[in-house]
Structure 1
């Protein structure tokens, strides 16, 4: 192989490798999201910050709040991988933010159902990405359902944050072509599979603890010494 062709081949190989890494999920990264208070001293929890619930007081979930910020970009483009935060097609055309909120709230409610004994808490979930399949992808090659969200646990009586917010990035294999049609015939729609996956994941997340939320910084006078 001539040197020029070898360089071109290596370039193509590296490009394919980069594309293949797009759907790799990373658990509890430390990036921030709109609407989440993550001061430098209060970064989202990492996996190393987690401990098993047997070492901690159990939670009794009394309320779940799901937020899907309007700042999240929605795409209706029927391409293989739209550049957007929200890609959802299985419900009729409408407000995708509200549709995603309903899906996640249903899943979280089922996931938290068994957490009914212990310290009463409120669970806040803020979606940062909800990427299901477009029609083109679903009926051809399939792909990955990619969902990211922050989970925050607060005391039900005081509203105090009990843990640092966790950034959870999860993915689920998405069927395509004949396999997608076969799954749909059994009632395993995208919505059902995603909801079941999130319910199991949230139930699991409520069995672990992150580092305690740091104390609120003391408020100081507007006047300060130079």
Structure 2
């Protein structure tokens, strides 16, 4: 019932809006799918990383305004969406690593918990929000000990819509390119800024994702 209500509310709101109108080598030995135990201090540098996208995360390929599922991704050809999401996070980590220049080398273990981008129908009409969530822990590479507690990060990104999305694609600024760059910035903030990354306030479409 909650999902029906959410879908109905989402369609109603999007219709209304439319009427008014976006390091080092990665290890494939990622973390286990169960809860992690860990956190990040500042003054670190990324020596290596792992990314886990649990197979328990559900994938939805339906072209509706708001497909139900943990993973909704259309920025790569149809294929193994879990692997594609992992590669996006790995690219974001490679983007971030050179910009994190502390003195304590760590391995960063990331576990993705949600990666809900836009369906074709939403992207080329009303737009929306790329709803991205993950957990991470830092492991001191010298001692092998985890540093602090595991952190949970919300890393939402406003999605381009309609003509703006098509123009961006033509320039090479695709969904994938935008999300990789965004993840890089999020990770830099997490490890270098006091308080870490602060999720953007993206309005009603973001609120729909949280229902």
Quickly name the TM-score band, shorter chain normalised: 0.7 to 0.9
Whether the 8 Å contact between 1:104 and 1:195 is mirrored in structure 2 is yes
One of 46, 51, 55 as aligned partner of 1:70: 55
| SS class of match (2:156) | strand
Question: Which TM-score applies when normalising by structure 1?
Answer: 0.69
Taking the TM superposition and a 5 Å limit, the aligned residue runs for 1:128-147 are: 128-147=113-132
Partner residue of 2:35?
36
| SS class of match (1:113) | helix
Measure the CA separation in 1 of the matches of 2:114 and 2:155.
Answer: 10
Measure the CA separation in 1 of the matches of 2:158 and 2:194.
Answer: 27
Measure the CA separation in 1 of the matches of 2:104 and 2:36.
Answer: 23
Q: Looking at CA atoms only, which structure, 1 or 2, has the larger radius of gyration? A: 1
Report how far residue 116 of structure 1 moved. 3.9
Whether the 8 Å contact between 1:63 and 1:121 is mirrored in structure 2 is yes
Taking the TM superposition and a 5 Å limit, the aligned residue runs for 1:60-209 are: 60-208=45-193
Report how far residue 94 of structure 1 moved. 0.5
Moved over 6 A (4+): none
| SS class of match (1:77) | coil
Measure the CA separation in 1 of the matches of 2:86 and 2:121.
Answer: 24
Structure 1 unaligned blocks of 5 or more: 1-14, 21-32, 39-43, 211-226
Whether the 8 Å contact between 1:154 and 1:163 is mirrored in structure 2 is no
Question: Which TM-score applies when normalising by structure 2?
Answer: 0.73
Measure the CA separation in 2 of the matches of 1:65 and 1:209.
Answer: 24
Measure the CA separation in 2 of the matches of 1:138 and 1:183.
Answer: 12
Measure the CA separation in 1 of the matches of 2:186 and 2:155.
Answer: 9
Structure 2 unaligned blocks of 5 or more: 1-7, 14-31, 196-211
Measure the CA separation in 2 of the matches of 1:146 and 1:162.
Answer: 27
RMSD, aligned α-carbons: 2.6
Measure the CA separation in 2 of the matches of 1:81 and 1:159.
Answer: 42
